[in-house]
Amino acid sequence: MLIFEDIRRAGRRRLFVLMGVPWEATPRAWVSLPLAAALGMLIAAAASPGQPVGGTILTGIGYGALLHLAEAIHTIGHTVSGRAVGSPMTANVLTATVHSNEYAASPEPVPGHIHIGRALGGPLANLAVGLMAIGLNAWVGSPWLRFFSQVNLLVGAAALLPIPTIDGSVIWRELLRRRRA
């Protein structure tokens, strides 16, 4: 739903390996940078309508960078939770829109608790970082930390919604299967 390219057929370039997981990029992954900056600029313009254009652009680029960082935190959460439930991630693919997590194909159906464990990692990582950023912001008082905390809390909460192709749909599907069984 959120990925508009065929990541199975697109060529990939390995960027780096983090925690044993290769981070790869599709040829169109670069598009996510101006998209995040544009979204950041829209947020900056809405938050400070009287700010000069140059300030809005710079603030927007900073907000875009923090949006990307929140997405990376989400992926790291999936990496950790995948390992914790015994189903480690095999690759993280950066696309023009969002990251896609890949896991090893299994000849047997993957048990529900593994699906739930893997899916919970990203949202829980964002929620934890968002809460830590709130605490740090209370001490430091930075609009950047306030934005970073809000983005992480929003990403974490939104990822738990039962919307197809995101974590919440996996979690709710498996919880409903358990309830019916």
Q: What is the SS3 assignment for 111-167?
A: CHHHHHHHHHHHHHHHHHHHHHHHHHHHHHCCHHHHHHHHHHHHHHHHHCCCCCCCH
Mean pLDDT, residues 38-58 taken together: 93
Domain spans in the chain, listed from the N-terminal domain onward:
13-180
Q: Give the amino acid at 97.
A: T
- Going from the C-alpha of 71 to that of each of 9, 66, 122, 151, 174, the distances in angstroms are 23, 9, 9, 10, 24
Please tell me the distance from the alpha carbon of residue 72 to that of residue 82, in angstroms, as a whole number. 15
Q: How far apart are CA 63 and CA 40, in angstroms?
A: 5
Q: What is the mean pLDDT of residues 105-112?
A: 85
Least confident among 12-26, 58-72, 96-110: 96-110
What does pLDDT average to over the chain? 92
User: Rounded mean pLDDT of 146-171?
Assistant: 96
More confident residue, 5 or 113: 113
pLDDT for the residue numbered 2: 65
Q: Is the pLDDT of residue 131 over 60?
A: yes
Task: Using pLDDT thresholds of 50, 70 and 90, give the confidence band for residue 71.
Answer: very high
Question: What is the model's pLDDT at position 27?
Answer: 92
DSSP state of 181: -
pLDDT value of residue 172 = 94
Averaged over 20-42, what is the pLDDT?
94
Three-state SS at 95: coil
